[in-house]
Amino acid sequence: GAVVSQHPSWVICKSGTSVKIECRSLDFQATTMFWYRQFPKQSLMLMATSNEGSKATYEQGVEKDKFLINHASLTLSTLTVTSAHPEDSSFYICSASPGLAGAVLSYNEQFFGPGTRLTVL
């Protein structure tokens, strides 16, 4: 159990276009999902917290109008990079926790998707 998927796994787009990345929890429900960004040879940096049915919470320095997050259901969160530019090229990773006390999976443990590599030309 505890599988998180992402789609697409990689995408190349032209500057100025928008790109949508999907994050799904396949075998558990997640009221909260998290989006991270990782530049080459660096660590994962938290971008935002995605809450089902409410607005996302963005970390300082992350433009909410540029990185649109929608958590439409308990198993799906989407990140849309709007008007992408070359500096947005990065590895984007989502994560989720089961979030239910007493579940088979640890309440607090986070599981990560395989990531989406975005290249903006």
- The binder of other proteins chosen from 20, 29, 44, 51 (CB under 8 A): 44
Cα angle for residues 52, 54, 56 (degrees, 5° grid): 90
- Rounded least distance, CB 118 to other proteins, Å: 12
* Distance in angstroms (rounded) separating the CA atoms of residues 19 and 21: 7
Retrieve residue 118's tokens: 């975005």
- Rounded least distance, CB 101 to other proteins, Å: 13
CA torsion angle 37 116 107 72 (round to 10)? 100
The site string for other proteins over 3-42 (x = CB under 8 A, - otherwise) reads: -------------------------------x-x-x---x
Contact 71, 86 (CB under 8 A): no
The yes or no reply on residue 62 touching other proteins (CB under 8 A) is no
* Distance in angstroms (rounded) separating the CA atoms of residues 92 and 22: 11
The yes or no reply on residue 108 touching other proteins (CB under 8 A) is yes
Catalog residues that contact other proteins under the rule CB under 8 A. 2, 34, 36, 38, 42-46, 49, 91, 93, 95, 106, 108-112, 114-115, 117
